[in-house]
């Protein structure tokens, strides 16, 4: 049921949706929402592997925006689910370009949160001429320090959550927790990989919101997508050189951007958003004082909708 107190726009259905084969292995799901003559925007979901939600359509005024959303390789309705072969950031960037060409869009606004912010920056730096601007949430630059924090920082704020995560791995393998999880998550044996992907997904899910939330029942699609793709991308540091996204900021520094960050985000701590803002002098930083990582926390949702509304009015953020 629609919540009139929500900062989001009312629920909306896609006007079109379909599947696009991007190579011999992967076929990605896409959908188009809103006004075909509106401001084009591409929505990049998080994870990697988390996939789309109907809620993601609601950050945009459907009368004024033409929204293109898609499940990235291995995520959501894309096939094969959880597939890590031929799955790199560079190939995801190529997929975004395929969609842009397919829809006949010259330039678009790029909107992404968490891993979606990582992919948005990578796409923008590869194709700055195709970007109108950026709305980014919960910044993740995919550095070694951030990966280490994701795996081990939880013990400082959520020690019981971290203890459960570690307990799934034999003591002899805990010296390299990421590799121990990768070994299990990538196993062909369902008796091995399902407990591992569920432990990984739950480890993240229990830390997303500032305030505790009722845990959702296990979702095979979400758990397999998140468990396999997050561990795959983290093990490869996003297929970037160290601090590559900041080192290449000159490619997009002339474009407008809003950065929305939860003050108490323990998945993607605020230091990454701050570093990005410092490297992007024209960016607008919105530090939400009463939020964690979740895009659907009201303070963050309100800030994201505010950014899309401001861009709609001015084609920028000033």
- Residue 109 sits in the same domain as residue 229: no
Given a cut of 80, is residue 317 above it in pLDDT? no
- Residue 131 sits in the same domain as residue 202: no
**Over residues 65-79, mean pLDDT:** 98
- Residue 126 sits in the same domain as residue 26: yes
- Residue 79 DSSP code: B
- Residue 245 sits in the same domain as residue 106: yes
Query: 316: pLDDT confidence band, cut at 50, 70 and 90?
Result: low
76 domain residue, yes or no: yes
Domain boundary pick from 201, 216, 238:
238
Look at residue 97 and give its three-state secondary structure.
helix
Domain total in the chain: 2
Given a cut of 70, is residue 291 above it in pLDDT? yes
Structural domain boundaries, residue 105: 16-141+240-314
158-191 tens-digit pLDDT: 999 999 999 999 999 999 999 999 999 999 999 9
CA pair distance 46, 78, nearest whole angstrom: 14
- Residue 180 sits in the same domain as residue 265: no
Domain boundary pick from 204, 238, 272:
238
**112 CB neighbour count, 10 Å cutoff:** 26
**Over residues 100-128, mean pLDDT:** 98
Q: Catalytic amino acids?
A: 114, 265, 293
Given a cut of 60, is residue 93 above it in pLDDT? yes
Report the candidate in 160, 106, 114, 159 with the shortest Cα–Cα distance to residue 140: 114
292-313 tens-digit pLDDT: 999 999 999 999 999 999 999 8
Given a cut of 60, is residue 228 above it in pLDDT? yes
CA pair distance 75, 168, nearest whole angstrom: 24
Domain boundary pick from 238, 255, 272:
238
3 domain residue, yes or no: no
Alpha-helical regions (H) of 103-176: 115-126, 144-148, 154-157, 159-167
Handedness of CA 207, 212, 213, 217 (dihedral sign): positive
2-25 tens-digit pLDDT: 466 789 999 999 999 999 999 999
- Residue 54 sits in the same domain as residue 111: yes
- Residue 220 sits in the same domain as residue 179: yes
Burial of 253 (0-12, 13-18, 19+ CB in 10 A): middle
What is the pTM assigned to this prediction? 0.96
- Residue 65 sits in the same domain as residue 120: yes
CATH number for the domain spanning 68: value is 3.40.50.1820
Q: Please give the C-alpha separations between residue 258 and each of 69, 117, 136, 235, 311, in angstroms, as whole numbers.
A: 19, 11, 6, 29, 10
CB proximity list for 1: less than 8 A, separation 6 or greater: none
- Residue 159 sits in the same domain as residue 260: no
In this prediction, residue 2 carries a pLDDT of: 46
């Amino acid at each position: 049921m629609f919540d009139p107190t929500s900062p989001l726009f009312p629920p909306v259905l896609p006007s079109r949706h379909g599947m696009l084969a991007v190579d011999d292995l992967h076929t990605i799901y896409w959908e188009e929402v809103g006004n075909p003559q509106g401001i084009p925007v591409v929505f990049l979901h998080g994870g990697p592997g988390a996939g789309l939600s109907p809620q993601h359509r609601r950050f945009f005024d459907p009368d004024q925006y033409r929204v293109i959303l898609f499940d990235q390789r291995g995520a959501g309705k894309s096939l094969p689910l959880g597939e890590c072969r031929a799955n790199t950031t560079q190939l995801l960037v190529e997929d975004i370009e395929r969609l842009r060409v397919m829809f006949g869009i010259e330039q678009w606004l790029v909107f992404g949160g968490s891993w979606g912010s990582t992919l948005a920056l990578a796409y923008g730096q590869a194709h700055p001429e195709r970007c109108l601007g950026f709305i980014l949430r919960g910044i993740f630059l995919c550095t070694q320090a951030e990966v280490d924090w994701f795996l081990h920082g939880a013990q400082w704020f959520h020690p019981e959550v971290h203890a459960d995560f570690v307990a799934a791995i034999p003591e002899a393998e805990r010296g390299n927790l990421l590799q121990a999880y990768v070994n299990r998550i990538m196993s062909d044996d369902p008796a091995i990989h399902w407990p591992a992907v569920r432990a990984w997904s739950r480890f993240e899910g229990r830390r997303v919101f500032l305030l505790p939330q009722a845990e959702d029942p296990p979702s095979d699609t979400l758990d397999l997508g998140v468990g396999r793709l997050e561990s795959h991308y983290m093990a490869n540091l996003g297929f970037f050189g160290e601090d590559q996204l900041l080192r290449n900021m000159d490619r997009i520094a002339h474009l407008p951007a809003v950065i929305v960050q939860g003050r108490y985000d323990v998945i993607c701590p605020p230091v990454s958003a701050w570093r990005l803002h410092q490297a992007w002098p024209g960016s607008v930083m919105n530090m939400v004082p009463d939020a964690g990582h979740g895009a659907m926390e009201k303070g963050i949702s309100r800030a994201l909708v505010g950014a899309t509304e401001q861009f709609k009015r001015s084609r920028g953020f000033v």
